[in-house]
A = this chain, B = another copy of it.
Amino acid sequence: MRSPFRRSETTVAACTIGAVSDRADPNATIPAAGPAAGGRRGSRGPKKVGAVNLRDVAAHAGVAPATVSRVLGGSRHVNPDTRTRVLAAAAELGYVVNGLARAMTGRGTRSIAFLTAEMAGFTFGATAAGAESVAAENGHLLLLCTTHGRAERERQIIATLCEQRAAAVLLVGSSGTDRLYTERIAGYVRDLATVGSKLLFCGRPGLPGLPEVRSVDYDHVGGIKAAVSHLAALGHRSVGYVGAPRGGTMPDLRLDGYLMGVRENGLEARPGLVAHAQNTIEEGERATPLLLDADRPPSALVCMTDNVAVGAYRAARARGLRIPEDLSIVGFDDAPVVGDLTPGLTTVRPPFRQIGVDAAEIALGLRDGDTDVLLGTSLTVRGSTGPVRA
């Protein structure tokens, strides 16, 4: 039934085709093929081997390097004729400005970095897409880095980003909250400042000890509270929570939201209604029975994430419980396909793409103001929640 994972390699003959480039003179763009520019008309010096540079263009156009720089750098104050001549020379030689050299003079566009624990997962992709979109529209590149949750790797990446002079670093996703962690981040902030860069939190709240670091986040607490209120409105009095224990920004806020929602709606409140599960389907499947098999099982469950909720589906099903007749379930994230589960999952949808957009805009200084950003969430109601059984 299960075909083996095999690996095969196919050989490909190395040869060259003759398709047409956009360049006026494709020959001039071929690298490491002897004197790049000089080869064509009036070579100067036998040294050059690399790509054609600004000086080559200047010589070819019969002007000074400074003039070429002005034309390409978009300065006004250039004679139209000169401009035309320079542009023609550049095109003819297939000149490509060296962004590295330009950056050294403070003129180049520095990249912005997207730093997260893991790249897999839906939430990451949407947020990164938002950030990339803003970066690209403004001529910047987006650097993608993952720490795999290892401090040492994180430290190494920040060091590399400092060396490469990233314009800004977006720290994305949940994080620790302890003093040691705050101090580590404070070190990054200082290191980045040294090279004229800065740190931004994205998809996580600010750190109390680090108020000068801006944060772009969505309303975890409000989202969960809306979920609890939704269940309360359906008549549920005993609502359980399945999610990670305190220790990270995301788990903390979502648990807070649950506790506040329970209090504000006057629902049953006791420790026995909370079960601990990390953010995976398997963990949700493992932890949910702790609630379902207890003495007074809840009639509804709020889950920290959709992953956990899917685990809860499994556990409910394994017990022959019908959703939502016997058990209502709410998730958080609105991941793909969860709407097509049976029944569709009611879940909180955060504006993942938008926090990426906002964070990038702030990172690039496209936005004024000196305030944190907190975006709202919306509740997507599907079939997994229903009236409490009479």
Contacts and interface: CB of A to CB of B under 8 A. Distances in A.
Contacts of A377: 3, 5
B4 A378 contact: yes
B209 A19 contact: yes
For this chain, the copies found in one complex come to: 2
A207 B351 CA distance: 38
A57 to B, nearest CB: 14
A163 B96 contact: yes
Size bin of chain A's contact surface? 35 or more
A90 to B, nearest CB: 13
B191 A96 contact: yes
A8 to B, nearest CB: 5
B183 A20 contact: yes
Nearest to A97: B163
Contacts of A194: 29-31, 51, 94, 96
A267 to B, nearest CB: 18
Interface string A8-21: 11111111110111
A62 interface: no
Contact of A187 (B20, B182, B210, B230): B20
Interface string A371-382: 111111111110
A156 B173 CA distance: 30
Interface stretch (A100-108, A246-254, A255-263, A286-294): A100-108
B186 A378 contact: no
Interface stretch (A79-87, A123-131, A270-278, A296-304): A123-131
Contact of A122 (B159, B212, B313, B336): B336
A319 interface: no
A214 interface: yes
A219 B9 CA distance: 11
A127 to B, nearest CB: 10
Given A29-B191, A186-B17, A128 B119 contact: yes
Given A3-B377, A141-B143, A144-B143, A14 B212 contact: yes
A151 to B, nearest CB: 12
Contacts of A195: 31, 51, 96
A42 to B, nearest CB: 21
12 contacts: A3-B222, A23-B190, A29-B190, A30-B193, A99-B160, A99-B164, A100-B164, A104-B104, A136-B145, A142-B145, A337-B337, A337-B338
7 tightest Cβ-Cβ pairs between the two chains A and B: A19-B186, A99-B163, A6-B376, A342-B342, A119-B129, A21-B187, A19-B183
Given A29-B194, A98-B165, A139-B160, 13 more contacts: A1-B379, A3-B376, A7-B376, A11-B371, A12-B370, A17-B210, A32-B196, A96-B195, A99-B160, A142-B143, A144-B144, A313-B340, A340-B341
Interface of A: 1-17, 19-23, 26, 29-32, 50-51, 94, 96-104, 108, 111, 113-114, 118-122, 124-126, 128-129, 132-133, 136, 139, 141-146, 153, 157, 159-165, 182-183, 186-187, 190-191, 193-196, 206, 209-212, 214-215, 219, 222, 226, 230, 281, 306, 310, 313-314, 335-338, 340-342, 351, 369-381
